[in-house]
Chains A and B, each alone.
Chain A
Amino acid sequence: MLAAILSRLLRMVVVMFGISVITFLIFFATPSSDPAARIAGKNAAQETIEAVRKDFGLDRPLYVQYGLMMKRLFITRDLTSFANRGQQIVPAVAAAAPATLSLVSGAAVLWMLGGILTGITAAAWRGRWPDKLLMGISMMAVAMPVFWVGEMVNLITQNRLHDTWAFSWVPALGYTPFSQDPGLWFRSMVFPWLTLAFLYIGLYGRMLRTGIIETYQEDFIRTARAKGLTGRKVLLKHATRSAIIPIVIMFGMDFGVLVGGAAVLTEVVFGINGVGRLTYQALKVLDLPMIMATVLYASFFVVVANAVVDLLCLLIDPRMRRA
């Protein structure tokens, strides 16, 4: 057990180190990535730019800059942004994290419930109209880009039908911390949750349906039915349990990467200032410290989520253990 945990930790360090180095290299390989002129300001004199360059340590060799950045990020935690001078990176990410966490967690609950329900229902009525309908909607969900869905939702709830009884409860776009006003937090998150979950309900529903149908053909199912177990019990207990593995694996990957900031489009469209939006803003202006921080933050969650999911899979299906 301990060995497994240690090996996972080692893996996390390797992955994060690898990504940080790659990010660093990509940044400096990009022409016009030098932030000195952007920091110094429009039409700055050459001396001013030089002064800024020295001030930010941009004239030191790459590995020194890398080392300093890592030190400032993890040890002294006083790393500052290139774009917003004086803005501390670590508190900024920490402040943005709850928004993303709220968004992704809520959506995750919705999409797991929705996906599982969809998958089981579609598999149970396989070939008949509920199956066709659900799979049709699922495919629609997968094919509609999240930024488009989000904008359409806003178009309806904030603009066209804003004053009707149906949507007048929808508050202004933006994130309110739960501790500040739970009611407002909930109301402002409903549509972001639904928008983000929509795509994944489609994906997971589809995967689960196929998985259940396949598992249904397995021997042990036939045995269970021969033994007299009714259809529903068989379905739920045996088939799903086996078919759910790929869903759990996908969930780990999706949740990890979304909490790390991949939900950027949803965040921007709904005005939720989370880690995703932070990453996106940093990319637009090539703000290396912020990019580095958010990339490492994301990779941390990806690795942790995958580790947790692997453990879960072992519990669900012991066949996955290595002999």
Chain B
Amino acid sequence: MSEIRSIRARLKGRFLGGVAALAIGAAFPAMAQDDAHYGGTMKLLGVSSEGTLDPHINYTARYWPLFIYTHDGLMAFKKVGGPESADVVPDLAEAMPEVTNDGKTYTFKLRQGIKFSNGKDLTVDDVVASFQRIFKVSSPTSGSFYSGIVGADKCLAEAETCTLEGGVIGDAATNTITINLVAPDAEFLFKLAVPHAVIMPADTVMKDAGNQPIPGTGTYMFESYDPNASLIMVRNPHFKEWSKDAQPKGYPDRIEYTFGGTEEAAVNAILNGQADWMYEPVPSDRLAELSVSNPDQLRVSPLVAWWYAPLNVNIPPFDSLQARQAMNYAVDRDALVSVFGGPALASPVCTILPPDMPGHADRCDYTADPGEFWSAPDMEKAHALVEESGTKGQKVTVVADDTSTGRAVGTYLQTVLTELGYDATVQSISGDIQFTYIQNTNNNVQISVTQWYQDYPAASNFLNVLFGCDSFTPGSDSSVNMSGICDKGLDDRMKAAMALAGTDPEAALTEWGNIDYDMMKLAPAIPLFTPKDVDLISTRMGNYEFSSQFHWLVGNSWVQ
């Protein structure tokens, strides 16, 4: 989409919205900010910790929602609930950037007067150093997100001596940062708003900081981290709110995130008032009970995510198109929805793009009566296709992870395969191991069960990342295109759509919808369902807000 046009549109919308808010705020001053809510200690529970405290490296849904409150990037996703949470707003930049040079040059003016949690002032040097650091510490997305920056190719090859020469230039005199891209990138502002691009002091250690907190500009700072015990966040003493949308002053004074125990124990703790929120999904056997006994403590929110079963298109039996299509006709997505907790918590999907992703178009072929939505499986068609494919009777192993939902889905798929005439078994392995196992072609995984959550709201995040030729690397543990599909025609169209997004966003969205439909004609995977997020919160928690990007906004809720 065109930055300038949409920026203007958004600015206008925001301006009007801002005026309205001011008006309302003036009329009801008590609603604006209730100082009594500031303070208190918020208690979070998680079964286990998940890696390093380094925002440039950690790529987990568990810690990203914390990093957005301890660190800031040039841009940020708006910290509000609802659809506006997908908007990017300037954070450490004073305003939206000037985009010139056909979309290849972004110029930001850095805000003045911001300090890190160690008291140091934020300068352009810190910004430049932080971008270099992304490559120096081998951030997971240095290749996928930031390789478009001029000089990145050298950095990817030789990380230690990374200078990003010509790519990120800081001018201390004018307080501006100029970023030059190799080619226009409609998603670049999104990429600047994720934790992998936050700004740290220039003297931060240029390797994974591990358990050592890195000073940041956010409203909170990390006080201590023991991966086996707890993570403590306290207020950043040098923080002064500069933008409520980008980095609001957090309500709790202290956040204690304790690791250990089980999901059931966490539910009990929240019900007993000993904790405020748990990261893991509420176990399914408590949902019905809680729906009735504590409905006001439950929050259900849509997620831009999907559960799917990648089909390996390069080895039998799913190297046969008919076999893949047969599976798509045969899977009863309603049954899988009930495994996940019912229609209130999941919806069947037929397309690769989840319903809330821009570009999604409601079209479903693989169902009893093709149309917009999925209705019922078509076993007759499925059987016929299996016969046609000639793969009947072959051995198939479904590889699932060891969560109870993963196992249930895997077992269900095995039932379907058996019904279609295959000799099917299912194997579940621990989640972290399973994720890399199913990517490596050396393991000859025929069908697996996995999920994908958006990194940012762009269709390419699903279509290009999961089914593009670039994501397929045989023999590697990092080959997210688990289907192994590489269709030149569709690949070219995807690249074209990404470029088109810069000039004509609406057309690009339509094209993504078409690519989705055409990709599903090749059936490289079985879309299963799109989940909703269920949060159980304590009775004392207020102002629960859910961001489509970072889920529950930790600092936006209060505990007193």
Contacts and interface: CB of A to CB of B under 8 A. Distances in A.
A211 to B, nearest CB: 38
A119 B211 CA distance: 50
Contacts of B52: 84-86
Contact of A32 (B139, B211, B433): B433
A244 to B, nearest CB: 37
A47 interface: yes
B539 interface: no
Interface stretch (A235-243, A277-285, A315-323): A277-285
B161 interface: no
A158 B480 CA distance: 42
A272 B57 CA distance: 29
A30 B415 CA distance: 28
Nearest to A49: B478
Contacts of A151: 262, 264
Given A51-B138, A95-B229, A96-B228, A159 B144 contact: no
A32 B209 contact: no
A49 B477 CA distance: 9
Contact of A87 (B138, B139, B210, B430): B210
B476 interface: yes
Interface string B13-51: 000000000000000000000000000000000001101
Contacts of A51: 138, 159
A21 B51 CA distance: 27
A259 B272 CA distance: 31
B101 interface: no
Contacts of B174: none
B465 interface: yes
A184 to B, nearest CB: 13
Interface string A264-293: 000011111100011001011110000000
B404 to A, nearest CB: 14
A271 B265 contact: yes
A83 B271 CA distance: 32
Nearest to B59: A41
Nearest to A42: B59
A81 B227 CA distance: 11
Given A32-B437, A44-B140, A95 B228 contact: yes
Interface stretch (B86-94, B119-127, B253-261): B253-261
B483 to A, nearest CB: 15
A6 interface: no
A173 interface: yes
Contact of B210 (A34, A55, A84, A159): A84
A100 to B, nearest CB: 12
Contact of B268 (A31, A44, A83, A159): A159
Interface in B220-243: 226-229
A42 B140 contact: yes
B156 A47 contact: yes
B437 A172 contact: no
B264 A47 contact: no
B507 to A, nearest CB: 27
B430 A45 contact: no
B436 A285 contact: no
A299 interface: no
A80 B265 CA distance: 30
A271 B261 contact: yes
Contacts of A87: 210-211, 227
Nearest to B53: A86
B260 A277 contact: yes
A285 B432 contact: yes
Contacts of A41: 57-59, 139-141
A52 interface: yes
Contacts of B473: 46
B145 to A, nearest CB: 10
Given A43-B140, A44-B143, A47-B157, A83 B51 contact: yes
Contact of A158 (B51, B147, B207, B272): B272
Nearest to B273: A172
A32 B264 contact: no
A69 interface: no
Contacts of B118: none
A172 B272 contact: yes
How large, as a class, is the contact surface on chain B? 35 or more
B142 interface: yes
A270 B266 CA distance: 11
A247 B480 CA distance: 54
A168 to B, nearest CB: 10
Contacts of A83: 51, 432
B51 A286 contact: no
Nearest to B432: A285
B498 to A, nearest CB: 16
A173 B269 contact: yes
Interface string A159-194: 100100000000011100000000000000000000
A145 B71 CA distance: 46
B477 A269 contact: no
A174 B261 contact: yes
Contacts of A92: 226-228
A37 interface: yes
Interface in B428-453: 430-433, 435-437, 439-440, 442-443
A285 B433 contact: yes
Nearest to A96: B228
A4 B476 CA distance: 52
B284 interface: no
B440 A32 contact: yes
Contacts of B53: 86
A207 interface: no
A219 B125 CA distance: 90
B100 interface: no
A48 interface: yes
B477 A154 contact: no
A38 interface: yes
A124 interface: no
Interface in A71-97: 80-81, 83-87, 92, 95-96
B510 interface: no
B477 A84 contact: no
B143 A272 contact: no
Interface string B128-150: 00000000001111111001000
A175 to B, nearest CB: 8
A40 interface: yes
Given A41-B57, A159-B271, A162-B272, A32 B443 contact: yes
B260 A174 contact: yes
Max count, chain A CB within 10 A of own CB: residue among B53, B143, B258 = B143
B274 interface: yes
B49 A45 contact: no
A258 interface: no
Max count, chain B CB within 10 A of own CB: residue among A41, A87, A159, A173 = A41
B208 interface: yes
A43 B476 CA distance: 11
23 contacts: A31-B437, A37-B476, A37-B477, A41-B57, A43-B478, A43-B480, A44-B138, A46-B473, A47-B143, A47-B156, A83-B432, A84-B51, A84-B210, A85-B52, A86-B208, A86-B212, A95-B228, A173-B261, A174-B260, A268-B261, A270-B265, A285-B430, A285-B433
Interface of A: 31-32, 34, 36-38, 40-49, 51-52, 55, 80-81, 83-87, 92, 95-96, 151, 154-155, 158-159, 162, 172-174, 268-273, 277-278, 281, 283-286
What are the 6 A-B residue pairs with the smallest beta carbon separation, nearest first?
A86-B210, A45-B143, A41-B140, A37-B477, A271-B261, A32-B437
Given A38-B432, A48-B156, A270-B261, 8 more contacts: A40-B140, A45-B142, A46-B473, A48-B140, A85-B52, A95-B228, A158-B269, A172-B274
